[in-house]
Copies of this chain bind each other. A is one copy, B any other.
């Protein structure tokens, strides 16, 4: 899966900004790939790109029409089909992050075939995988792990990638979820891989590399999430991380989606992640902590970061509030 950029963002006629959060993320991290937005009448979202028709997008060089919206159920509204078919006819590839597969809609499948364009359903792995081997490979890897889902395990490696590119280091962000795949242009939704191949799929997306090259691997789930811990463990074993970053959101009162499941304390979370990571990399170590303090006031955030830093003895940052310079500095010690 290799998405061609730049992207024209298709927002359809979604009714609020939250539905466009995937596009917001892409625009934030890949402004240079985000050419414009194509909206249907009555669309209530705006990702702050120039509005373009399909024709205008093509003229400006767009390669892929990107359906980066979310809705309950992950379906493709029927009245969007005509726009997608037209895009294929005009010469776009089409990529979707919806659960529904583009190729399952006959008009879309036929148009892709007829006009020789590619369809990408980034939630659905298209490659076949082998079971993981656990065999050490060249290059260095850093994996984001966390206390819960949605606590910064994509944001943190992307912030680190930006800092490392600025320092002219050899670095690749490795995507394991749909938004990450749009941002990287490639990757695998590991939670959609058949269980037998989780670690193997991850080995495949961050293969052997130069000894001084860093893969920064997007994390998924949490070892402490009863729904998704299996994904997290397979991801960790496949990543063979030299470095781990612990991600956390301090105002979360329970595990995402599970009102009765408490979050682990940071020390317990760190210890279990380290123990399991060492199965495939005996030298794995934590290089820092990334806290999302968006829900804390400024002075409380500073106090909290200082407390965690003292508790765990690791550089503790908020990637938004303080940046990730100290995480990258500490990565250099490995």
* Residues in chain B near residue A193, CB distance under 8 A: 194-195
Is residue A190 within 8 Å, beta carbon to beta carbon, of the partner chain? Answer: yes
Chain B nearest CB from A28 CB (Å) reads: 26
Besides the known contacts A190-B195, A199-B227, A231-B234, 20 further A-B residue pairs in the complex with CB atoms under 8 A apart: A131-B257, A132-B226, A133-B227, A134-B260, A191-B194, A191-B195, A192-B195, A192-B196, A194-B194, A194-B195, A195-B195, A195-B198, A196-B228, A198-B230, A199-B229, A226-B237, A227-B237, A229-B233, A229-B276, A272-B275
A window 270-296: CB within 8 A of B: 272, 275-276, 279-280
Q: Residue A192 contacts which of B194, B229, B233, B275 (CB distance < 8 angstroms)?
A: B194
Q: Is A146 an interface residue (CB 8 A)?
A: no
Q: Could you say which of A133, A230, A279 has the most chain B C-beta atoms within 10 Å of its C-beta?
A: A230
- Looking at the assembled complex, report how far the CB atom of A311 sits from the nearest CB atom of chain B, in whole angstroms: 21
User: Is there a chain B Cβ closer than 8 Å to A10's Cβ?
Assistant: no
Tell me whether A332 is interfacial, beta carbon within 8 Å: no
Q: Count of chain A residues with Cβ under 8 Å from any Cβ of B?
A: 37
Chain B residue with minimal CB distance to A231? Answer: B195
A-B contact pairs, 25 of them (CB 8 A): A132-B227, A133-B226, A134-B227, A134-B258, A190-B195, A192-B195, A192-B196, A193-B195, A194-B194, A195-B198, A195-B230, A195-B231, A199-B228, A200-B227, A223-B233, A226-B279, A229-B233, A229-B234, A230-B230, A230-B231, A230-B232, A230-B233, A230-B235, A231-B234, A272-B275
Least CB separation from A264: chain B residue: B279
**Can you name the residue of chain B whose Cβ is closest to the Cβ of A224?**
B279
Given contacts A275-B272, A279-B229, A280-B226, contact A234 B195 (CB under 8 A): yes
Is the C-beta of A261 less than 8 angstroms from some C-beta in chain B?
yes
Q: How far is the CB of A131 from chain B (nearest CB, A)?
A: 4
Question: How far is it, in angstroms, between the C-alpha of A272 and the C-alpha of B261 when the chains are bound?
Answer: 20
* CB of A135 closer than 8 Å to a CB of B: yes
Residues of B within 8 A of A276 (CB): 223, 229, 272
Q: Which of A135, A223, A234, A235 has the most chain B CB within a 10 Å cutoff?
A: A234
Contact A134:B190 (CB < 8 A) given known A195-B198, A231-B195 = no
Assembled-state Cα–Cα distance A12/B139 (Å):
48
Question: In the docked arrangement, what's the CA distance between A235 and B275, Å?
Answer: 19
Residues of the B chain whose Cβ atoms lie less than 8 Å from the Cβ of A228 = 131, 196, 199
Taking CB atoms, residues of chain B closer than 8 Å to A196 are 191-192, 227-228, 231
- Residues in B with CB closer than 8 Å to A190 are 195
Interface residues in A31-74 (C-beta closer than 8 Å to B): none
